[in-house]
Chains A and B, each alone.
Chain A
Amino acid sequence: MFAYEKRLQFPVKIKNTNPDTARLIMSQYGGPDGELSASMRYLSQRYSMPVKEVGGLLTDIGTEELNHMEIICAMVYQLTRNLSEADVKRAGFDAYYIDHTKGIWPQAAAGVPFTSLEFQSKGDPITDLFENLAAEQKARTVYDNLLRVIDDPDVVAPLKFLRAREIVHFQRFGEALEMTKEKLDCKNFYHCNASFDKIGKK
């Protein structure tokens, strides 16, 4: 079960209102490679992982992604909390404002709503771990893209933190892949799906 701890994993303390930045960062909440997608991906996949330790890792990383989702939402909230009428008329945030006012809602930077089509739970441990390795790289690229266009140090500090997490998670999923491979036939990793077929268990 999940229990709330009343703090953010990384502190978010943004002084300056900036709806344009908010709209970009929002992509890491509800966008294709966002934290919501990441968390749902790992927490969904863990049930069909044949190696217990890998299910444990997916639980721990999936939980951490929930923390990251909360950090992103806190950033969007703080970037827009003192929004003026003039701010919402400016191109960039106006369309979002019409539908959500200052409410936080998961969508991509380009306005596409969050959808579970952004992630996969394939029920094959090799396939799912490769999905996760790719997902961490995609999220890292998004953080690179954000860091290239955002200068406010209050915003950069949590983005830098979140980017670094993607690399650590990539490493751990790589190690999880090695742990899974150890349980499979090394002459042919594709002989069966260890999560479905009852043959080939070591």
Chain B
Amino acid sequence: MDAINQCTCAGHLAMATVPKQEWCEPYDCEIALTEGTIFPCLNLTFYKAPANQKKLKSCSSLSNKDERDREEMMTELSAISFMLNDLTLYLDTHPDCPNGTPLFHELLAKRLELLSEFAERFYPLTHLSMVTGEFDENRYGWSEGPMPWEGACI
């Protein structure tokens, strides 16, 4: 007798399954950044971590208005960019999602705009943003601005 054909087990033995995520309405992008995910359904918190969903602390201690503006814009850029990072991973496993795809394109355009504006007003964060924004071609630019690990607010 063929033992395999006798087996009537439901599902698969010796294999694990993770349910596929269904779309859930994403957080506002600044909340998403502090929470570490754009999806409320994946925000499974640890009891010792602060649970309150609030935006990142602003750099209100900075006395120079230009620096304050720069930090505010950097926060906006980080929030939009993170939303894209997380949405990219979602779309890698849900390429046909009718909710995620239009949002992806909308965020891409917004991010490009912010990167260009940041380069124009402060300093370039990427090489490309020196081309997409108005940038003096006699200015090298790439060495300008604080290094990211310095924590610009301090």
Contacts and interface: CB of A to CB of B under 8 A. Distances in A.
Interface of A: 3-15, 53, 56-57, 60-61, 64, 70, 73-74, 77-78, 130, 133, 143-144, 147-148, 153, 156-157, 159-165, 167-179, 181, 186-187, 189-190
B154 A13 contact: yes
Given A13-B152, A61-B89, A160-B50, 8 more contacts: A6-B124, A11-B78, A13-B154, A53-B92, A147-B49, A164-B36, A164-B37, A167-B42
A171 B42 contact: yes
8 contacts: A10-B78, A13-B151, A13-B153, A53-B95, A133-B18, A171-B42, A177-B17, A190-B14
Contacts of B19: 174
Chain A binding surface, main DSSP class: helix
Nearest to A178: B20
Chain B binding surface, main DSSP class: loop
Contact of A169 (B21, B78, B89): B89
Interface residues of B, number: 55
Contact of B36 (A77, A165, A178, A179): A165
Contacts of B20: 175, 178
A101 B142 CA distance: 29
Contacts of B123: 6
Contact of B125 (A6, A160, A172): A6
Interface string B25-45: 000000001111101001111
B65 to A, nearest CB: 19
A61 B92 CA distance: 10
Contacts of A14: 151
A10 B33 contact: yes
Among A11, A56, A144, A177, max chain B CB count under 10 A is at: A11
B48 to A, nearest CB: 5
A28 to B, nearest CB: 14
Contacts of B43: 164
Among B35, B48, B90, B123, max chain A CB count under 10 A is at: B48
A175 B93 CA distance: 6
A177 B36 contact: no
B10 to A, nearest CB: 13
